[in-house]
Amino acid sequence: MRVMYEDMVKQFERILTKHGFDPESAADAASIFAGNSMAGVYSHGLNRFPRVVSYLEKGEIAPDAAPTCEMGMGAIERWDGHRGFGPLNARRAMDRACDLAEEYGVGVVALGNNNHWMRGGSYGWQAADRGFIGICWSNTCPNMPAWGGKDKKIGNNPFVMAIPRSSGDHVVIDCAMSQFSYGKMEDCRLKGQKLSVPGGYDSEGRLSTDPAEIEKTQRVLPMGYWKGSGISIALDLIATVLAGGNSVSRIGTLGDEVGLTQIMIAIAPGKFNSVELTDSVVNEIVADIKTSVPAQEGGQVYYPGERALKSIQENRRLGIPVVEEIWNAVLAM
Amino acid sequence: MRVMYEDMVKQFERILTKHGFDPESAADAASIFAGNSMAGVYSHGLNRFPRVVSYLEKGEIAPDAAPTCEMGMGAIERWDGHRGFGPLNARRAMDRACDLAEEYGVGVVALGNNNHWMRGGSYGWQAADRGFIGICWSNTCPNMPAWGGKDKKIGNNPFVMAIPRSSGDHVVIDCAMSQFSYGKMEDCRLKGQKLSVPGGYDSEGRLSTDPAEIEKTQRVLPMGYWKGSGISIALDLIATVLAGGNSVSRIGTLGDEVGLTQIMIAIAPGKFNSVELTDSVVNEIVADIKTSVPAQEGGQVYYPGERALKSIQENRRLGIPVVEEIWNAVLAM
C-alpha cells in the first residue's frame, strides 16, 4: 500500500494539532515526519509516529515548548530545547547554525534538553538546501556496549555530514554508530532474514548475524568494532560538554529516551568558492566514485545520499509505501 | 631494544637539519616524530622516518616552505601548505584554528597542498593541550575501494576528535576509515598472525582475516563496511571544497602520496564552562564507561586515548621500543 506525501502530511498535522501543536508547528512537524518516510527512512517517519504520539500523551514531549538561546559567544551558541518536539527544535538549531555560518563562516549550535530528532539526515539536507556544509549529531539512550564491555553503556549516536550541490542532489551521510539499528534488526527478524554482516553477539558470546539472538543479548556491535565505540564516546562528550546537556549515561536514568543532546555545525563554502566551483569539485569527486569497478556483476557504487534521493523521487511520484496496519492506526487517531 | 625519547629527537633533528630544515623547524619536526613513536604509533614515528627522508631527497617535501593564509572570513580560513613538511604545517594550522576559536568560539582552518601529517591524533592532543575540543581529518591517496566497488577509489582518511581535560589525560579518538591500516596488516603478516576481524577480501572475493591475501587484492575493508565508505567520501568532499585542495582522486595522479588536504576545527568549551565544569562532565562520562562489565574475564574497557597515554608514560620512563634495523639505518643517515 502506498500513501501520497500530501495525504500523510495532512493526517500527521491533524493528529499533532489535536495534541496541542499550534497550526504552524503542526504543519512543520508533519512535513518532517512524512519527509522521513518519503526519503525511505520509514523507521523514523510513519513507523515512529505512534510512539511520538504516546510520548505526547504521557507528557514527555511538550508540544508548545520553544527552544531558547542560553549562551552565545561569537559563532557558537548553547540552546535549551525545553523537552519540546525534537525535530522542530533540531531544525531551528540547524537553521541558527546556518545563520551563524553566514556571519562568521562557521556556526555551532549545541542543543540540550531536546527530544529525539528522528532522522538526523534531514538536518544535513536542510543545511545543504541553504548552500552550507552541515555536520551534526545526537546522543541517545545507552543502547550499545562499549568495545570490550558487555552491558549497554554508550549510544549509537547518529552522525551526519552533508555537502551541498545547487541541483539539490546533495551528498549526505547519515549513520548511527552501531552496525545496524534495532529497527533494521527487527525488520530482518520479521522477514526471517539474517543480517548481511555480523551485527552483535549471540548468547554464547560469538559474533552473530541472527537478529533474534542479538535482540536477546542486546550486545549490539559498534560499526568497525572498537572504532565506532570510540567515535560514539567522543560524540557524546563533545555534545554534553558544549550543550551542558544530558550525557548518554544520564539519559539512561530518565526512563524513556528523552532529554537528548545535539550538535549542529554549519560551514559556508560560499565564503571561498562560487556555487559553480563548489558544484564542480563535488561533481568531479562523485563522478570518479561512480566509475568504480563493481564488486558484484551488474552492481554499482552509490554515493552517500544517492539512494535517499531515489526514494524521494519515486515515493513522491508513486506514493510512500506504508505498513497498512500502522497507517490504519494513524487514521484512527 | 628501547631508545630514550631525547636521543630519538636528537637523531631526527640532526638528519632533518642535514636535509635543509632550519634549527627551529628541525627541533619541532623531530619532536613530533619521536612523540608519535612515544605514543605507541610506531608506524608514523620512527618507522615512517626513512620514507620521509626519501621524499625530502626526491624533492617532494620542501623543507623550507612555510604555510600561508590564502583567504579568511570570520572564523574560517584557507591555507596553502606549499608542499612543505606535513606535520609542521598541520600543527601550525591547528594552532591557528585554536586562535580563531579563542576569538569566535570556533575556528576552522582548511589546509591544502600539504604533505602527510603522520599521526593525526597529535593535532587532537595539541588542541586539547590548549583546552580546546579538536576535530580534524586528512584525506589520503586512493587506498581503498568504495563500498560495492573493487578498485581503490577512496582514501582511508583519518579522522580525529579530542576532548580536553586539564590533567592532560585527554580523550582522543584517532581512526582511519579502513578497518586496518596497511601498516597493521604488514605487522600481522610478519608475525604470522591473522587479523582479529575481517579486514578485506581475498582473491576469491570473500571477506578475509588473512593479511597477505588482502595485501594481494588491495581490497581493504572500510570500517563498518558501507558506513566507513560513506564517511570517507564525505570527509574528502568537505576538505577538498573548503581548502580548494587536491581530492583523494587527484592525489592518486601525483605518483607519491603528496599534496594532501586537511581540515582543523577547534571549539572552545571555555566560552560556556569553567575548566572545572568541563573536567567534571568528561570525568563522569569516562568513569561510567570504565564501569562496563568486561566482555572477557579480567578484561577492561578503555576510553579513547587511554592506551596512548599509557604508552607515553611507559615509553618516557623505559625508552621507546624500536625495530633495531630501522634505528640503525637512522643512525647511519
Express each pLDDT in B308-323 by its tens digit.
999 999 999 999 999 9
Name the fold adopted by A1-64+306-333: Hypothetical Oxidoreductase Yiak; Chain: A, domain 1 (1.10.1530)
- The segment(s) of chain A belonging to CATH 1.10.1530.10 are 1-64+306-333
B173·A76 Cβ contact <8 A:
no
Nearest chain A CA: its distance from B223 CA (Å): 4
Amino acid, single-letter form, for residue A116 = H
pLDDT tens track for A150-176: 999 999 999 999 999 999 999 999 999
Residue-wise pLDDT tens digits, B102-140? 999 999 999 999 999 999 999 999 999 999 999 999 999
**Distance of CA A182 to CAs A198, A321, B144, B289, Å?**
13, 20, 29, 21
Sequence ranges of chain A with CATH classification 3.30.60.50: 179-221
CA distance A233 to chain B (A): 8
For residue A150, the model assigns a pLDDT of: 95
**Of B69, B289, B296, which to mutate for an interface test with A (greatest number of A Cβ within 10 Å)?**
B289
- Provide CATH 1.10.1530.10 ranges for chain B: 1-64+308-333
Confidence at residue A310, expressed as pLDDT on a 0 to 100 scale:
95
Q: Is the pLDDT of residue A190 over 90?
A: no
Mean pLDDT over all residues of chain A?
A: 96
How far CA A286 is from CA of A24, A172, A244, B204, B233, in Å, comes to: 37, 12, 38, 28, 9
Tell me the average pLDDT across A304-308: 95
φ and ψ at residue B43, rounded to 5 degrees: -60, -30
B186 pLDDT exceeds 90? no
Closest CA to B99 of B279, B264, B274: B264
Torsion from C-alpha of B77, B82, B84, B86, nearest 10 degrees: 40
What pLDDT, in 10s, does the model give residues B30-58? 999 999 999 998 888 999 999 999 999 99
The predicted model scores a pTM of 0.97
List, in order, residues 6 or more apart from A247 with CB less than 8 Å away. A139, A236, A237, A240, A261, B281, B284, B285, B288
Query: Could you tell me if B184 lies within 8 Å of chain A, comparing CB atoms?
Result: no
Q: Which of residues 285-324 of A touch B (CB under 8 A)?
A: 285, 288-289, 291-296, 299-304
**B window 264-283, beta carbon within 8 A of A:** 265, 267-269, 271-273, 278, 281-282
Q: State the Cα–Cα distance between residues A126 and A118, nearest whole angstrom.
A: 14
CATH class of B65-175+227-290: alpha beta
Fold assignment, B1-64+308-333: Hypothetical Oxidoreductase Yiak; Chain: A, domain 1 (1.10.1530)
- Using the predicted structure, report yes or no on whether residue A180 has a pLDDT greater than 90: yes
Task: Reply yes or no on whether the pLDDT at B182 is more than 90.
Answer: no
Asked if the C-beta of B175 comes within 8 angstroms of chain A's C-beta atoms, the answer is yes
Q: Where in chain A is the domain with CATH 3.30.1370.60?
A: 65-171+228-290
Q: What's residue A187's pLDDT?
A: 83
Give the burial string for A294-308 (b: 16+ CB within 10 Å, else e): ebeeeeebbbbbbeb
Q: Which fold has domain A65-171+228-290?
A: Ribosomal Protein S8; Chain: A, domain 1 (3.30.1370)
Q: Which CATH number fits domain B179-221: 3.40.50.720, 3.30.390.50, 3.30.60.50, 3.30.2290.10?
A: 3.30.60.50
B231 touching chain A per CB within 8 A: yes
| Alpha carbons B230 and B239: distance in angstroms, whole number | 14
Q: How many CB pairs under 8 A join A and B?
A: 267
Q: Is A184 on the interface with B (CB under 8 A)?
A: no
pLDDT of residue B299: 93
Q: Is A230 helix (H, G, I), strand (E, B) or coil?
A: helix
Over residues A47-90, the pLDDT tens digits come to 999 999 999 999 988 898 999 999 999 999 999 999 999 999 99
Give B45-109 as a DSSP string: TGGGHHHHHHHHHHT-S-TT---EEEEEETTEEEEE-TT--HHHHHHHHHHHHHHHHHHHSEEEE
Share of chain A above pLDDT 90, in %: 93
